[in-house]
Amino acid sequence: MDNSEIIQALKDCDAVQFGDFTLASGQKSNFYINIKKASTDPKTLKIIADYITRLLPAVADLNAGGIIIGGVELGGVPIATAVSLSSQQPLLIIRKSEKEYGTKSRYVGELDPNKEIILMEDVTTSGGSVKKAIAALQEDGALIRKVITIVDRESGAAESLKELGVDLIPLVSSSELVNE
């Protein structure tokens, strides 16, 4: 699928920034993908959600018991919510840790082990954040085979997730954003 509309939308909302940055992975970079600008801009978020919704039939068997759209707090939640609304698939929000009050749940929504969870991620670098969520989900019996990320920084996330048997599906690579 042609991702030029996403690339343009990310540039239009100023999600691509240049300077000296330290990433969540600890790596240094001369550019930063401020995806929060995209996930808080209704026009850009709709473009992303609609694109992912069109992509879903190619990456998941929508008829085999259904799927769940998952989002890891914080960055994955607006994306997953928008994709859930666009695709009409159920939403699961994965907290970074269990709550210490109320239900003490790590999840918002229903974790159904009979449905594959397609995780949404904003930006992947090494894959460390999403790997922790995958490990927690798998401990609770969930099936995760795909992570869809808006931007892959091409810094090892795909290889790292492959070790878990999970495919990373980037909508855009950082080289496409920075070099165009």
Instruction: Determine whether the annotation assigns residue 65 to a binding site.
Output: no
Instruction: Determine whether the annotation assigns residue 2 to a binding site.
Output: no
Instruction: Determine whether the annotation assigns residue 123 to a binding site.
Output: yes
* CA distance linking residue 3 with residue 66, whole number of Å: 26
Instruction: Determine whether the annotation assigns residue 156 to a binding site.
Output: no
Instruction: Determine whether the annotation assigns residue 104 to a binding site.
Output: no
Instruction: Determine whether the annotation assigns residue 129 to a binding site.
Output: yes
Instruction: Determine whether the annotation assigns residue 124 to a binding site.
Output: yes
Instruction: Determine whether the annotation assigns residue 66 to a binding site.
Output: no
2 burial via Cβ count (<10 Å: 0-12, 13-18, 19+): exposed
Instruction: Determine whether the annotation assigns residue 153 to a binding site.
Output: yes
Instruction: Determine whether the annotation assigns residue 95 to a binding site.
Output: yes
* CA distance linking residue 68 with residue 32, whole number of Å: 30
Instruction: Determine whether the annotation assigns residue 131 to a binding site.
Output: no
Binding-site residue numbers for 5-phospho-alpha-D-ribose 1-diphosphate are 95-96, 99, 121-129
Binding-site residue numbers are 95-96, 99, 121-129, 153
Binding-site residue numbers for orotate are 125, 153
